[in-house]
Amino acid sequence: MPDYKPSNLGSTRCGRGVFYWGKRTYVMGVINVSPDSFSGDGLADVEEAVVKAKRLASEGADIIDIGGESTRPGSTPIPTDEELRRVIPVVEKLAQETSVPLSIDTYKLEVARQALDAGANMINDIWGLKKEPGLAELAARKGVPIALMSNQRDSPCHNIVSVVISDLKRAIKQALSAGVPWENIIIDPGIGFGKTQEQNLEVLQRLEELKVLGRPILLGSSRKSFIGWVLDLTPEQRLNKVTFVPPGDQRLEGTAATIAIGIAKGVDIVRVHDVKEMTRVCKMSDAIVRGV
């Protein structure tokens, strides 16, 4: 594994675009094609999802991440056929109607395969190849980038940062062994995903330690429950007598803080629900941290 040097992050081609790591922070917009999304933004209609994706692109998203299965704590996995039914029509339509690169958020091999065939340009694996090692071989064969996340839902732990680094080293080695080029690997510490609220904060406090891995860092802190925990946004505080406000809508400022601090600590790409607002946060943070 190459030694980390900031200048060695290089670039990653994704669809028609290229991510030049270190130049600026890139924005990944989220499209949840699932009715039970934790953030309250789930969509069930293909046209609605396509319209939203186009809006996110117009607001500054550099890549759109499409997922059909909720990853909220306690969620029930859905059958592969149902996930395919949800995401493939969205990917197909977006691939025809927009030039923004598309990422498929899945840990299922068949979903990833069909999504890439339908026009997706990247795989986002929340299990870091632990559930489906074949995703690395697929990424290598298709020549697409793959984001590898450190997920502790199957193995709660202490010493969280060292565990995350060790887990990501394992995932990187696995991907390289399967033929994925070094420049096509992106790493994600996995905010949430089996970590305690205190551990989520610790990972954010120590994000710069992930630089030892030598790959661009993706941060997915947007609207996560630890933000509500820190800000004391209980369900009762989110319940208006007239209308229910989705919890994610109350976590905008907290998300902005995590994005700004993440950029200061070396994050290269952020996965967010509120693209317009977080693009502005990235631009301001980049002006301070990167001088751009």
CA atoms of 62 and 93, how far apart (whole Å): 18
Q: Does residue 271 carry a catalytic annotation?
A: yes
Q: How many residues does the chain have?
A: 292
The CA-atom distances, in angstroms, between 222 and each of 19, 243, 258 are 21, 23, 8
The token duo for 150 is: 């450190």
CA atoms of 81 and 99, how far apart (whole Å): 27
Helix axes 80-97, 109-118, angle to 10 degrees: 20
The token duo for 165 is: 């680094």
Cα angle: 94, vertex 115, 68; to 5 degrees: 85
- Annotated catalytic residue within 271, 280, 283, 290: 271
Of 43, 60, 29, nearest to 220 by C-alpha is 29
- Annotated catalytic residue within 142, 195, 224, 251: 224
Q: Does residue 283 carry a catalytic annotation?
A: no
Give the CB-side neighbour count of residue 9, counting CA atoms within 13 A. 23
Of 141, 62, 53, 44, nearest to 92 by C-alpha is 53
Of 154, 273, 179, 180, nearest to 224 by C-alpha is 273
Residue with the two structure tokens 């990235």: 282
**Helix, coil or strand: residue 224:** coil
What are the catalytic residues? 224, 271
